[in-house]
A and B are shown apart, each in its own frame.
Chain A
């Protein structure tokens, strides 16, 4: 079936081995999907002119919520009337994105009936993204999602965005915390903050089971929950010998089948704190110097395992460059136990939010609020003691503020008394 618009440039992207989004959308369009047809035409125009063809912004949504739908309107509705409205709906995904085909089939049927049938699986924050529908379909879609699917919208706007975790204990032997339970629990606990914008700006949670950080929480969430342990790495000496002897493949075979494993060059010498020793028989790790970087565990997964006294490190403040420059999360809680119902962690979260909601400027991420008002002030409001693990290096400049209460005599001085000792 011939499509409505010629797309010579997009057609080029059907070549090559990678799955082509153009072929996929064309397949939808060939079924008579008019939104997909016009979407292809619009993309071709943008490729040709090297300019976007969506109007600025868009404010649509469902009653009761202040976010969840990203409104979008085409700026050439005369040429592409079927994408004149092309709103995106964010649907909250199950943590780590495990599905049954049953629910996905139902969701596809619902979406083809109410929208373009195009999706993004998934948005980078984690949501199921339903790409392209019209304003009049929003409430009916929302009704079916909640009543038939028991699914809810994700977050958008100045609020708690959809939290996401790595797949955690579901199929990883390194996970020190139950990321899925944590993410599900936080999502449910803070539904109100997710659906009704109340913050100075957006706020994200992400949780990884270990420092490998497979959801990149340290870079992509305002509050990052990363699993770790406090005791010793568990060592299976026989398995270490099997790696050295070539019976086991290092990196679980990630570098291909190889027989030349050199434990000294690839593990002992690469340890960032040099806290490992191997004498040809026994592998030793000096736990007090281990920073739990995961390298040795990653190379020798059958021989080394995280310890058993487990919890998480909490980092705060990651954000993209706008406005004050990109930031990764900074350690604020070196170790916290993370067991359901996470009361201690939630206490921290609420103290953090109370402060940021009061002090944060309009559209200021919490990382920038901390930058502006200092980590010291932040630690005070969340009632945490400063700890050497919170800094990479101490400050080099001497502009040090003191609390007047901590200085004998305070800040009030008698100028006349000074002059008695010092002539003008």
Chain B
């Protein structure tokens, strides 16, 4: 676990750069993560993906399956990779402040 300071905020993060607690998420976090995730500027479409992930996580306590994310946002998986080059797990979930994906990855 490490700690980073950015724009007056402090974040606990793990080795993979995932935030330690969803409650610590704030828009500055997204700003901090974006460059390491290969994103220059965030568009409304980026934010839509982030909000869908957060709403789903708040309601169900888990991240949605890829199929559900593509259905709800209306974006094909290819387009999600255009928005988040590391993909929905490492890219979008990390920015949205969700816990790190687990299992056979």
**Residue from the list B77, B85, B89, B101 in contact with A63, Cβ < 8 A:** B85
Q: State which residues 264-307 of A face B: CB under 8 Å.
A: none
Contact B104 A71 (CB under 8 A): no
**Shortest CB–CB separation between residue A146 and chain B, in angstroms?**
15
10 additional A-B pairs beyond A55-B15, A57-B101, A59-B101, beta carbons within 8 Å, are A57-B100, A59-B89, A59-B105, A64-B81, A64-B85, A66-B90, A156-B105, A158-B103, A196-B87, A197-B66
Q: Give the nearest-CB partner of B105 in chain A.
A: A157
- Residue among B65, B77, B89 facing the most chain A CB atoms (10 A cut-off): B65
**Shortest CB–CB separation between residue B58 and chain A, in angstroms?**
18
**Shortest CB–CB separation between residue A245 and chain B, in angstroms?**
55
In the complex, whether A227 has a CB less than 8 A from a CB of chain B is no
Q: How far is the CA of A196 from the CA of B65 in the complex (A)?
A: 13
In the complex, whether A336 has a CB less than 8 A from a CB of chain B is no
Q: Give the nearest-CB partner of A362 in chain B.
A: B65
Contact A197 B89 (CB under 8 A): yes
> Quick one: CB contact mask for A351-368 with B, threshold 8 Å, 1 for yes?
000000110001100000
**Residue from the list B67, B78, B87, B100 in contact with A61, Cβ < 8 A:** B87
Q: How far is the CA of A202 from the CA of B66 in the complex (A)?
A: 13
Contact A66 B87 (CB under 8 A): yes
**Shortest CB–CB separation between residue A367 and chain B, in angstroms?**
15
Number of residues on chain A facing chain B (CB within 8 A): 30
A interface majority secondary structure: loop
**Shortest CB–CB separation between residue A81 and chain B, in angstroms?**
13
Indicate whether A73 sits within 8 Å of B15 (C-beta atoms), given known contacts A64-B85, A357-B67. Answer: yes
Q: Give the nearest-CB partner of B102 in chain A.
A: A57
Q: State which residues 189-206 of A face B: CB under 8 Å.
A: 192, 196-200, 202
List B contacts of A47 (CB < 8 A). none
Contact A58 B16 (CB under 8 A): yes
**Shortest CB–CB separation between residue B37 and chain A, in angstroms?**
8
A-B contact list, 23 entries, CB within 8 Å? A57-B105, A59-B16, A59-B89, A59-B94, A60-B16, A61-B86, A63-B38, A63-B86, A65-B87, A70-B105, A85-B15, A157-B104, A196-B78, A196-B81, A197-B66, A198-B66, A198-B67, A200-B67, A202-B104, A357-B67, A358-B67, A362-B62, A363-B103
Q: Give the nearest-CB partner of B65 in chain A.
A: A362
Q: State which residues 25-80 of A face B: CB under 8 Å.
A: 55-61, 63-67, 70-71, 73
Number of residues on chain B facing chain A (CB within 8 A): 24
In the complex, whether B18 has a CB less than 8 A from a CB of chain A is yes
Indicate whether A200 sits within 8 Å of B65 (C-beta atoms), given known contacts A64-B81, A71-B16. Answer: yes
Q: How far is the CA of A281 from the CA of B60 in the complex (A)?
A: 74
Q: State which residues 2-41 of B face A: CB under 8 Å.
A: 15-16, 18, 38
Q: State which residues 24-78 of B face A: CB under 8 Å.
A: 38, 62, 65-67, 77-78
Q: How far is the CA of A64 from the CA of B77 in the complex (A)?
A: 11
List B contacts of A71 (CB < 8 A). 15-16, 105
In the complex, whether B88 has a CB less than 8 A from a CB of chain A is yes
**Shortest CB–CB separation between residue B52 and chain A, in angstroms?**
17
**Shortest CB–CB separation between residue A67 and chain B, in angstroms?**
7
Q: Give the nearest-CB partner of B90 in chain A.
A: A59
List B contacts of A363 (CB < 8 A). 103
Q: Give the nearest-CB partner of A161 in chain B.
A: B104
Contact B81 A60 (CB under 8 A): no
List A contacts of B65 (CB < 8 A). 200, 362
List B contacts of A357 (CB < 8 A). 67
Q: Which 6 A-B pairs have the closest CB atoms?
A: A66-B87, A63-B85, A59-B16, A63-B38, A157-B105, A73-B15
List B contacts of A202 (CB < 8 A). 104
Q: How far is the CA of A347 from the CA of B66 in the complex (A)?
A: 23
List A contacts of B86 (CB < 8 A). 61, 63, 66
Contact B15 A58 (CB under 8 A): yes
Q: How far is the CA of A196 from the CA of B85 in the complex (A)?
A: 11
List A contacts of B101 (CB < 8 A). 57, 59
